[in-house]
Structure 1
Amino acid sequence: MYKTKLLFSFFISSVILLSLAIIPYSVHLSFGAYAKAPVAPRGPTIKDDNLVVEKITDGLDFPTSMAFLGPNDILVTEKVTGKVMRVLGGQIQNEPVLDVPVANSIERGLLGIAVSKQVDGKTYVFLSYTESGNGVDGSDFTDQTDPLGNRLYRYEFVDGRLINPVLLLDLTAIPDNGRGEHNGGKILIGPDNNIYYVIGEVGGHRTQAQNIVDGPAPNGLGGILRITQDGNVVDDGSIFGKGLPLNVYYAMGIRNSFGMDFDPLTGNLWDTENGPTAGDEINLVFPGFNSGWSLIQGFSKNDFLGTGTTSDDLVYFGKGSYAEPKFDWVNPIGITALKFLNSAKLGQEYQNNMFVGDINNGLLYRFILNQARDGILINDTSLGNIKSLADYEVNDPKENQPVVFGQGFGGITDIQVGPDGYLYVLSYTGSLFRILPSSDGLAGEESQLADKTGTNDTQNDNSVPVSIVGINGYNSYSPNPVKIQKGQTVTWYNGDAISHTVTSGIDGDTDAGKMFDSDAIIPNQHYSITFDNTGDYQYYCIYHPSMVGEIMVE
């Protein structure tokens, strides 16, 4: 049988290479997913008083994924540097176990990792990353060098290093929209010992895999791909069809995903999926699953995309079929990691529950599955008002509360269960946390991260207070407008249940965020600005552009 890695190279050559339009950082503000929640000033907290959050380490550089080699032995990928760092006993080792050249604009970079111990004693480590076109990190941004591709490699872990790279999958990283988002990149070793790799539509590709009937044939993007650990096609019958790339698709119609895991009781695969302006999803993924993008996002009845289409309008191959999400958020949260806790170490009530993270708010969510484990069960009245979630949809951010398990982590990029049975949470801020029973954890301040990220030292007692009320157009900030004198300070307090921003300009402005930008203001935190010049200053929330405000400085 031919190696998948050899046959997949045709994707690069068959795509007309577009010149990559490099987007300055300020323009990134147009995309809400790229403002990430900071860690809460006093560190993360859990709603259960019997549990505590410990900081394992910080100092990582935008970590994206982690995998355990053994107890207290973790490999962590860094998005921008292309380094795989080793964390031993809570200490980041000085030298990386590997440093690969990455294109790292927007969502490109070193993205996924998985570890597989072999019966012959070898340890395989699988990495997914956007490979630099000239061997220099970030050259896609600095000098517009096209990436070589989104690639999946297999390495061997030997004497503290990753060696003997084998290229397994080679997919295009050239966007159709001039940007570098929706590369996905998470990797899993399934119960069948095969590799599952999720990749988004990579900058707006529109093929039949994105449900465009008259579009080009699928090119390996926008789905979950499955291959053997040697890079071969899984020989158990075709799901979507014969021949590459159809025979490596496990699921398609996926816009972008940063999380997936197998239910330890049923072996079913679940994933998260990011919506554009609406419809972040949790899905039960079966072989042949079509998630609906780019015609359907969120529950089809809502028609968030305004396409007026139904599941009958999607493109189906082989055994492909559509299924509605099991849960969704109308207002995107930047949904990321998903992990089942296959352990009773946090208490029997949490065993085999599903935990999900987000990047916008730094929240950790907990979901209980129904008895058949084919859907989500929301029946724990101790969590709060669950009636509003009877439709399995968060229509208003305040409906989030019953499923919020923890907060203050900063934007969450990965969740894993360690060999010790505890839950580990990775934050883009560079911190790695562990959740464990308070009886086993550190006491007092030692278990908290003393980080003031997200606050602003310009706050003072004479500042003019503005409350961030929530998503309500011109009434989202109160008072609005605010009239002050030159030299006065305005302090915004987030009284909502999710993060918001205070970003100069209006949605769509090329200058948005250049004058001031708060980044994510998490719940119960504040942001302050002193205005030294007269004039009228419009601002908005990049997560929710309908939220608008104005400062009038006399």
Structure 2
Amino acid sequence: MRKRIKFRLFGLSLFCIFLVLYSNHSTVNLSYGAYIKAPLSPAGPTVKDDNLVVEKVVEGLLDFPTSMAFLGPDDILVTEKNTGEVMRVINGQLQEEPVLDVSVANSIERGLLGIAIAKQQPDGTRYVFLSYTESGNDEDGSDVEDNVDPEGNRLYRYEFVDGQLINPFLLLDLTATPPNDRGEHNGGKIRIGPDNNVYFIVGEVGGHTTQAQNIEDGPEPNGLGGVLRITQDGQIVPGDAIFGDESPLDLYYAMGIRNSFGMDFDPVTGNLWDTENGPTAGDEINLVYPGFNSGWKLIQGLSKNDLLNDGATPEDLVYFGKGSYSEPKLSWITPIGITALKFLNSDKLGEQYQNDMFVGDINNGLLYRFVLNEARDDLTFDNGELEGNTTLLEDREVNDPKENQPFVFGQGFGGITDIEVGPDGYLYVLSYTGSLFRIVPSSFSSSLTSTPMAISDTLATTNEEEEQEQDTQQSSESDNDQVTGGNSGNSVPAVILGLYGDRSYSPNPITIEEGQTITWYNGDTISHSVTSGQGDDGDAGQEFDSKAIIPNQYYSITFEDSGEYPYYCFYHPSMVGEVIVE
């Protein structure tokens, strides 16, 4: 008999808050959930500061929006990963026709990835820079559907004329063919530096292991795994060589980078900072100076911890020219899927936030705020700006996800793909879910072009949404929204405590009768999942899979058939539990 399981997702209520009791037991946990993305909070995104609110600027940006750039006030270009379309948002209205549509390979992290707009030229020309994985046969997604190899990861310069992007000029042409056959680690973010040069960050593209990835006996660098710097005309930046005069070393500003979805220049010092994604450990924030070597593929996270278990030290890295290694300014033992990075070069949200660094993640939908020290060459946690226990951060490492709390500034955004500051001085947050938000003072939230995202705005529709979901009995496989509301009286409450092995889910095991429902509440500070099977099972997730359950949300399953149902967290496979249906 086919086992029948019904699914429901529930939002925050009070029925099992009392269950959120954290164990002192600890264990090493590594994340494998880099590609699980947090959904929007059903109550909408919020920030800690009561003087600020989150407004929705636009929704319906389909197929995974990746980056945005401002043409002017209330005039935004947004890139869509899978379609290769550059969409335009004017006064909060998504325009019907794209300003450009390019053919992209879009497997995993390939696609239309980055955008940057330069200052207008003296002759009135407006350059727009785009990075994308160009399709091998001029069809979107042919690498997925027909196994067509992409042409390459390419950086183009366009001109914005009469609402269109025209006159493409190829600046960089890098390989997009991965040795591991996975379309991952393509990076793609672009920034125009204070020197007006173009900075482009690219990962190692599916496991390339050249000398730029610190493999001494590997092939010569091929332009991957670093920050590349060129002029707006595609020329080598004149001046003293950083890594070397020969090509492609003369392109590199930094190297030894596994993958990145965010970088920005400090508006005060002009220093470049980036985020970097670790594999199963070691997400990072780095100060990226000329000649910076981030350590991959020998070092990830703090070098003393040897998170890659290879025994490597900074002395084992491959150095060219003026290259040198520097420790990350902050590292996460359990990855968060760190993404966008932006400095708020404005006092519009309050002087206390001016020039602070804001960072997003994809796994939890969290927005983080970081404060720099007086010299602005490091992060500081002891200046009184951040609330909570910051002493645990003195080691520059987040050893437990709960250590995140002092610098969590906002939540519920869904997986964040970009953060920008608009010409109006407010902070804009782009979500892969297709929504664009901005953070503004509460006194300004009467904007006519956007909708405030406050809890009160969503609770009014809660009952209607919950009834609709109950009627359709949609599974989390087809609808990953997490809807605010209570649980049925027949539901057995459970709680997700955190990274505690077989004590991560409580109670464990859970014993119920046929036809009963279990509702798991995520009482941790990061996303988790309830996924059938175990992490090494080929059929894991076939019986049920919650996808990402963000903090303070619920996931419910009704078990119709007797049996034993092991489950685990896809993000953190050492978290295991079992349901016994009698």
Same fold? TM cut 0.5: yes
The reply on whether 1:56 has 2:60 as its aligned counterpart is no
Deviation at 1:540, TM superposition (A): 1.2
The reply on whether 1:355 has 2:383 as its aligned counterpart is no
Deviation at 1:534, TM superposition (A): 2.6
Q: For residue 439 of structure 1, give the secondary structure of its aligned residue in structure 2.
A: helix
Match of residue 45 from structure 2: 44
Instruction: Tell me the amino acid that sits aligned with residue 356 of structure 2.
Output: N
Cα pair 1:366 1:405 within 8 Å, conserved: yes
Q: For residue 546 of structure 2, give the secondary structure of its aligned residue in structure 1.
A: coil
Q: For residue 33 of structure 1, give the secondary structure of its aligned residue in structure 2.
A: coil
2:401 to 397, 403, 414: 397
Separation in 1, partners of 2:260, 2:415: 15
Cα pair 1:459 1:527 within 8 Å, conserved: no
Q: For residue 220 of structure 1, give the secondary structure of its aligned residue in structure 2.
A: coil
The reply on whether 1:241 has 2:244 as its aligned counterpart is yes
Match of residue 511 from structure 2: 483
Separation in 2, partners of 1:508, 1:253: 30
Match of residue 410 from structure 2: 406
Deviation at 1:514, TM superposition (A): 2.3
Match of residue 116 from structure 2: 114
Match of residue 14 from structure 2: none
1:85 to 87, 108, 115: 87
Superposed CA offset, 1:335-363 (max 9, x none): 00000000111111100000000011111
The reply on whether 1:442 has 2:458 as its aligned counterpart is no
1:123 to 105, 123, 126: 126
Superposed CA offset, 1:499-541 (max 9, x none): 1111122113222222221111111001111222332222111
Superposed CA offset, 1:407-462 (max 9, x none): 11111000000000000000000110001111111399843474972249995221
Match of residue 279 from structure 2: 276
Cα pair 2:132 2:153 within 8 Å, conserved: yes
Cα pair 2:54 2:452 within 8 Å, conserved: no
Separation in 2, partners of 1:456, 1:35: 21
Separation in 2, partners of 1:153, 1:240: 24
Superposed CA offset, 1:478-519 (max 9, x none): 111112222221111000011111112211322222222111
Cα pair 2:303 2:327 within 8 Å, conserved: yes
Deviation at 1:135, TM superposition (A): 1.0
Instruction: Tell me the amino acid that sits aligned with residue 537 of structure 1.
Output: Y
Deviation at 1:31, TM superposition (A): 4.4
Separation in 1, partners of 2:175, 2:487: 47
Separation in 1, partners of 2:134, 2:265: 28
Cα pair 1:454 1:520 within 8 Å, conserved: no
Deviation at 1:466, TM superposition (A): 1.3
Q: For residue 34 of structure 2, give the secondary structure of its aligned residue in structure 1.
A: helix
Match of residue 100 from structure 1: 102
Separation in 2, partners of 1:101, 1:522: 34
Separation in 1, partners of 2:401, 2:138: 43
Separation in 1, partners of 2:34, 2:210: 24
Deviation at 1:243, TM superposition (A): 1.6
Cα pair 2:53 2:452 within 8 Å, conserved: no
Superposed CA offset, 1:74-128 (max 9, x none): 0000011111000000000000001111111111111000001222111111110
Instruction: Tell me the amino acid that sits aligned with residue 53 of structure 2.
Output: V
Superposed CA offset, 1:353-375 (max 9, x none): 00000011111111110011000
Given the two structures, how large is their TM-score scaled by the length of structure 1? 0.92
Instruction: Tell me the amino acid that sits aligned with residue 335 of structure 2.
Output: P
Which structure would you say has the larger RCO, counting Cα contacts within 8 Å and 6 or more residues apart?
A: 2
Q: Cα gap change, 1:326/1:121 in structure 2, threshold over 3 Å: closer, same or farther?
A: same
Separation in 1, partners of 2:349, 2:369: 13
Match of residue 27 from structure 2: none
User: Structure 1, unaligned stretches of length 5 or more?
Assistant: 1-29
Match of residue 204 from structure 1: 207
Deviation at 1:389, TM superposition (A): 1.1
Instruction: Tell me the amino acid that sits aligned with residue 501 of structure 2.
Output: G
Higher mean alpha-carbon deviation, 442-451 vs 515-524, is at 442-451
Q: For residue 279 of structure 2, give the secondary structure of its aligned residue in structure 1.
A: coil
Higher mean alpha-carbon deviation, 528-537 vs 182-191, is at 528-537
Match of residue 7 from structure 2: none
Superposed CA offset, 1:259-284 (max 9, x none): 00000010000000001111110000
Match of residue 345 from structure 2: 342
Matches within 5 A, 1:362-381: 362-381=365-384
CA RMSD of aligned residues (A): 1.6
Dislocated runs of 4+, deviation >6 Å: none
The reply on whether 1:225 has 2:228 as its aligned counterpart is yes
Q: How much identity, in percent, do the aligned residues show? A: 72
Q: Cα gap change, 1:174/1:458 in structure 2, threshold over 3 Å: closer, same or farther?
A: farther
Q: Cα gap change, 1:160/1:174 in structure 2, threshold over 3 Å: closer, same or farther?
A: same
Superposed CA offset, 1:267-312 (max 9, x none): 0000000011111100000001000001100000111000111000
Instruction: Tell me the amino acid that sits aligned with residue 353 of structure 1.
Output: D
Given the two structures, how large is their TM-score scaled by the length of structure 2? 0.88
Deviation at 1:252, TM superposition (A): 0.4
Q: Cα gap change, 1:486/1:458 in structure 2, threshold over 3 Å: closer, same or farther?
A: farther
Cα pair 1:458 1:528 within 8 Å, conserved: no
Deviation at 1:471, TM superposition (A): 0.2
Separation in 1, partners of 2:500, 2:452: 40
Instruction: Tell me the amino acid that sits aligned with residue 447 of structure 1.
Output: M
Separation in 2, partners of 1:108, 1:537: 36
Cα pair 2:152 2:175 within 8 Å, conserved: yes
Separation in 2, partners of 1:197, 1:445: 34
User: Structure 2, unaligned stretches of length 5 or more?
Assistant: 1-30, 466-480
Q: For residue 44 of structure 2, give the secondary structure of its aligned residue in structure 1.
A: coil
